[in-house]
């Protein structure tokens, strides 16, 4: 896998942009579908994120996180703040808004896919465009902005690029990307296990880069006024595993979020160690973290499944680039099911984790086969 830092300095952005432009007609159609299907055009979180984003953009930083209900990171607040300040109204204005935002998210997807599959296949622009078309056709990218949470796309993409950087031993870049992902939503920190995708991780430099970038994002808001984000408690929905384990629990505070995070991080590290020698670790580790996060989530809203869908899209691109037809078919079928047909409840989340476990096992066992050319197992890939 070529150097991520070199790719980011050279043609990866241009390749991603070309691929996104190729699917621009699909982007417009997807944006039109979102706008016309909504009774009230605009992101679902606009009532909270709009004023907070406007405060951020106008310099009133002390008011951005004055209300605990605002759980969006600064990066996520900016698009809603722009819409708030522009006073968007009417379907045409919102169509332009969704077209631009959907195109930018599609560009992010195609760029990340280009990083993941760098140097592994010919016709890379068209293969990358296929990934952009997929996220539009299965409604991953449009719905992310419609529910007001583009973090569901951006955070897993940043984890995957961070994993690629770790595999190339660029641990400062990898740690910084994890810290920056928290700028979308705080749960971006759960991507830390991708640092173990690289051999002999440099924990100190990665941790300092991650902590420094996260502090640079949130410290100005903390010191400038009331920061109420961590006083919020989520309602516990009756159809979640949390409710099944404790039916008397009605609120899920940040202390329980820490328990959830610990288990998700532990599972991610286990997968990273288990399939470190496989190129598939760059998407299997994020998928494991997301699966455990969903399984232990008190709300388990359907839009949470956008993030696993994005990760599976990168898995499709990598298996296609590696010319592993059985792996490509398996990941594609599972991704289509997960994004279009799954009910997205506890049982489906368990199935997501089972798929991740099987794929990890196929990558990790037997390890000696990793050094042999063209292994027949679906997910086995030679080490770099």
Residue 51 has pLDDT above 80, yes or no: yes
Tokens of 104: 């930018």
Least confident of 119-133, 243-257, 364-378: 364-378
Band of the pLDDT at 160, cuts 50, 70, 90? very high
When mean pLDDT is compared across 181-190, 198-207, 343-352, the lowest value belongs to 198-207
CA angle 89, 91, 95 (to 5 degrees): 105
SS3 of residue 146 by DSSP: helix
Token readout for 11 is 């043609």
Six-digit token string for 69: 């209900």
Helix, strand, or coil (residue 252):
strand
Q: What's the chain's average pLDDT?
A: 88
HSE-up of residue 326 (Cα within 13 Å, Cβ side): 10
Tell me: the pLDDT tens digits for 322-333?
878 898 999 999
Binned at pLDDT 50, 70 and 90, residue 364 comes out as confident
Omega within 30 of 0 (cis) for the link into 101: no
pLDDT-based confidence at 14, cuts 50/70/90? Answer: confident
7 pLDDT more than 60: no
Is residue 373's pLDDT more than 60?
no
CA 369 to the chain's CA centroid: 31
pLDDT at 363: 86
Determine contact, residues 144/306, Cβ cutoff 8 Å: yes
Query: Within 10 Å of residue 251's Cβ, how many Cβ atoms?
Result: 11
pTM, to two decimals: 0.92
- pLDDT class of 366 with cuts at 50, 70, 90: very low
Summarize pLDDT for 89-115 with one digit per residue, the tens. 888 999 999 999 999 999 999 999 989
What confidence score (pLDDT) does residue 236 get?
A: 97
If you search the block for the tokens 């760059």, which residue do you land on? 282
Looking at residue 119, its pLDDT comes to 61
Tokens coding 43: 């992101």
DSSP annotation string for 219-251: HHHHHHS---GGG--EE--TTSHHHHH-TT--E
Q: What would the pLDDT profile of 138-148 be if each residue is shown by its tens digit? A: 999 988 988 98
What average pLDDT does this structure show over 286-300? 97
Confidence (pLDDT) at 8: 55
Confidence tier at 320 by pLDDT (50, 70, 90): confident
Percent of the chain predicted with pLDDT > 90: 71
Greatest Cα pair distance, the chain, in angstroms, is 61
Mean of pLDDT values over 123-131: 83
Can you give the pLDDT at residue 368?
34
Contact 70, 52 (CB under 8 A): yes
DSSP 166-220: HHTT-HHHHHHHHHHHTTT-GGGGGGGGGGGGSSS--HHHHHHHHHHHHHHHHHH
Lowest mean pLDDT segment, chosen from 158-167, 191-200, 233-242: 191-200
DSSP assignments along 297-366, one per residue: -SS--GGGGHHHHHHHHHHHHHHHHTT-HHHHHHHHHHHHIIIII---SHHHHHHHHHHHHHHHHHHHSS
User: How much is the pLDDT for 10?
Assistant: 58
pLDDT tier at 27 (50, 70, 90 boundaries)?
A: very high
Give percent above pLDDT 70 in the chain: 91
* Contact of 352 with 297, CB cutoff 8 Å: no
Contacts of 217 by beta carbon, 8 Å cutoff, 6+ apart = 73, 74, 179, 180, 182, 183
Q: How many residues are given for the chain? A: 384
What pLDDT score does 69 carry? 93
- Residue 39: pLDDT above 90? no
């Amino acid at each position: 896998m070529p150097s991520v830092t070199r790719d980011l300095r050279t043609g990866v952005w241009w390749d991603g942009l070309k691929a996104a432009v190729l699917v621009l007609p699909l982007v417009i159609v997807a944006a039109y579908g979102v706008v016309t299907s909504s009774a009230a055009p605009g992101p679902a979180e606009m009532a909270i994120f709009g004023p907070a984003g406007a405060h951020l953009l106008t310099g009133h930083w002390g008011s951005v996180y004055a209300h605990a209900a605002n759980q969006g990171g600064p990066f996520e607040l900016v698009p809603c703040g722009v819409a708030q300040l522009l006073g968007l109204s009417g379907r045409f204005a919102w169509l332009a808004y969704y077209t631009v935002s959907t195109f930018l998210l599609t560009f992010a997807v195609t760029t990340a896919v280009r990083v993941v599959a760098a140097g592994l296949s010919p016709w890379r622009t068209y293969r990358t465009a296929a990934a952009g078309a997929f996220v539009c056709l299965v409604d991953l990218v449009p719905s992310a902005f419609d529910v007001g949470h583009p973090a569901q796309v951006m955070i897993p993409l940043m984890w995957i690029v961070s994993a690629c950087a770790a595999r190339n031993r660029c641990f400062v870049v990898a740690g910084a990307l994890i810290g920056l992902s928290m700028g979308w939503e705080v749960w971006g920190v759960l991507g830390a296990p991708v640092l173990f995708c690289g051999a002999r991780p440099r924990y100190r430099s990665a941790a300092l880069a991650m902590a420094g970038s996260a502090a640079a994002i949130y410290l100005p808001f903390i010191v400038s006024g009331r920061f109420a984000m961590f006083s919020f408690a989520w309602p516990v929905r009756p159809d979640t595993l949390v409710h099944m384990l404790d039916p008397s629990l009605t609120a899920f505070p940040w202390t329980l979020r820490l328990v959830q995070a610990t288990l998700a991080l532990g599972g991610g590290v286990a997968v990273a160690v288990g399939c470190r020698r496989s190129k598939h670790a760059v998407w299997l580790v994020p998928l494991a973290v997301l699966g455990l996060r969903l399984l232990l989530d008190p709300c388990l809203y359907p839009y949470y499944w956008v993030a696993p869908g994005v990760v599976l899209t990168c898995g499709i691109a990598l298996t296609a680039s590696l010319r592993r037809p059985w792996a490509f078919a398996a990941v594609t079928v599972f991704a289509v099911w997960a994004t279009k047909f799954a009910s997205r409840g506890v049982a489906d989340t368990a199935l997501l984790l089972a798929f991740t476990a099987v794929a990890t096992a196929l990558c990790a066992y037997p390890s000696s086969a990793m050094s042999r050319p063209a292994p027949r197992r679906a997910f086995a890939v030679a080490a770099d």
